[in-house]
Amino acid sequence: MKISHKDTGAVIYDSAHINIKKCVEEAVKSGAYLRGANLEDAILNGADLEGSENLFRIGPSIDSHEFFAVRHDIESGAMIKAGCRWFTVAQAHEHWGGDTRPDIGDQRRRYLKFIEEEVKALGWNKGEKND
């Protein structure tokens, strides 16, 4: 399994694993630099990503979805992976802002508030360079 860069297509990590979750776990544990990694279709539920940089996990949610915040690049800032979908922070606000379910909708908004606070504290806001 190979992890490639989302813009250039260059291979940034190569593993003998055939499962993307195991490949990402191995890459994180090895200290691989995964900024810009194309993980769009990756299902990382239950992945052990302790020690990773430019990524943090929130969840699982009430309905068992895993949530991740990932620092992509200066132009886009942080992205949110929720279940199988990707959102910018603005898109997440739009998507969950009108969710009237008292349990799931409220939890999503709490997660989003936490993500925004962490993104700000880590300097991952759009246009900020902290390398």
Residues 32 and 96 occupy one common structural domain: no
Q: Enter the pTM of the model.
A: 0.62
Q: What is the structure's pLDDT at 12?
A: 85
DSSP for residue 90: H
Show the domain range for 26.
1-42
In a domain, 86, yes or no: yes
Q: What is the structure's pLDDT at 78?
A: 83
Give the sign of the dihedral formed by CA 111, CA 112, CA 117, CA 119.
Answer: positive
Residues 4 and 63 occupy one common structural domain: no
Residues 109 and 58 occupy one common structural domain: yes
Residue pair 14/23 in contact (Cβ under 8 Å)? The answer is no
- Total structural domains in the chain? 2
pLDDT tens by residue, 47-104: 767 666 777 888 788 988 888 888 766 566 788 888 888 888 889 999 988 888 889 9
Residue 81, judged by CB atoms within 10 A of its CB (0-12, 13-18, 19+), counts as buried
Residues 13 and 60 occupy one common structural domain: no
Residues 70 and 128 occupy one common structural domain: yes
Residues 115 and 67 occupy one common structural domain: yes
